[in-house]
Amino acid sequence: MRRPGRFDGILIETTGLADPAPVAQTFFVDEDVRAKTRLDSIITVVDARHLPGEIDHAHEAQEQLAFADTIILNKTDLVSPEELASVEDRIRRINPTAGILRSERCDLDIPSLLDRRAFDLDHILEIEPDFLDEAHEHEHDDHVTSFSLVEPAPLDPEKFFPWLQSTVQAFGRDILRLKGIVSFAGDDDRYVAQGVHMLLEGDHQRPWQDGEERVTRLVFIGRNLPRDIITDGFLKCRALRQAAESSRFTERNSTP
């Protein structure tokens, strides 16, 4: 970084089952690094044949999958179609948002791995248009789990931001990745947020479009996160009028 001239890109290869979190966090907290570079994406390469055993016996393997934006599923020629489908399903349980690329001998189109801007708030929904899919609900025995929080009613920013900060303070060490889009009451712009452990960032994006469903949806990926506690706090962030209307609707539907 101190040499004259510019790099097209820098590839950082971690060793074995190294924790990618410290590397990712450097791009958020080191002002010098942040001024000269940007974290483009995190890529994890896995062996289709041996991954199930690694997941079952190494928590680090689950966490590497959880951090990834792109997962290269290699040696797909060594497993049956049924085994391949099972492996992909297991990956999705841990990380519902990452793109999965199948390969043999890691033979891939290199440009498809570069300049993905996975940590760019303006591009998150472009490269992962389905990461907010409500189908991303996974409860199982893995060390790393994921779940979505969905709320059609607008949220109160004066409640949401303190809740999000307190959630990260309480559980940030176990929150591996956090991504989401938020609809605030009285705000015509979409708010996009993402986080890695204790680090959070967010920004107002483009305005909500006509006909676009204004729904808040957050995806949490982490180690044994207390879903009930996080969900309860999230629901308390609804704007008062919308929360009251939702409550009256529930009462009407529960009246015999």
Is residue 165 domain-resident? yes
Q: 71 in a domain, yes or no?
A: no
The answer to the question of residue 116 being in a domain is no
Query: Residue 180: which domain range?
Result: 134-254
Residue from 118, 119, 101, 121 nearest 110 by CA: 101
pLDDT, tens digit, 9 for 90 and up, residues 43-96: 999 999 999 888 877 788 888 898 898 999 999 999 999 999 999 999 988 888
pLDDT 10s digits, 83-139: 999 999 999 888 888 889 999 999 998 888 888 877 776 665 554 555 555 544 544
Distance CA 166, CA 172 (A): 9
Does residue 160 contact residue 241 with C-beta atoms inside 8 Å?
A: no
Length of the chain: 256
Count how many Cα atoms sit within 13 Å of the Cα of residue 194 in the half-sphere of its side chain: 18
Triad 236, 97, 171: Cα angle to 5°: 45
For residue 189, list its beta bridge partners: 207
d(CA 114, CA 124): 15
Number of domains composing the chain? 1
Question: Would you say residue 171 lies in a domain?
Answer: yes
CATH of the domain at 206: 3.30.1220.10
| Residue 250: pLDDT over 50 | no
Rounded to an integer, what distance in angstroms lies between the CA atom of residue 142 and that of residue 147?
13
| Within a domain: 229 | yes
- String of b and e for 60-81 (b: at least 16 CB within 10 Å)? ebbbbbbbbbbbbbbbbeebee
Q: Is residue 89 part of a domain?
A: no
Tell me if 54 is assigned to some domain.
no
198 lies in a domain? yes
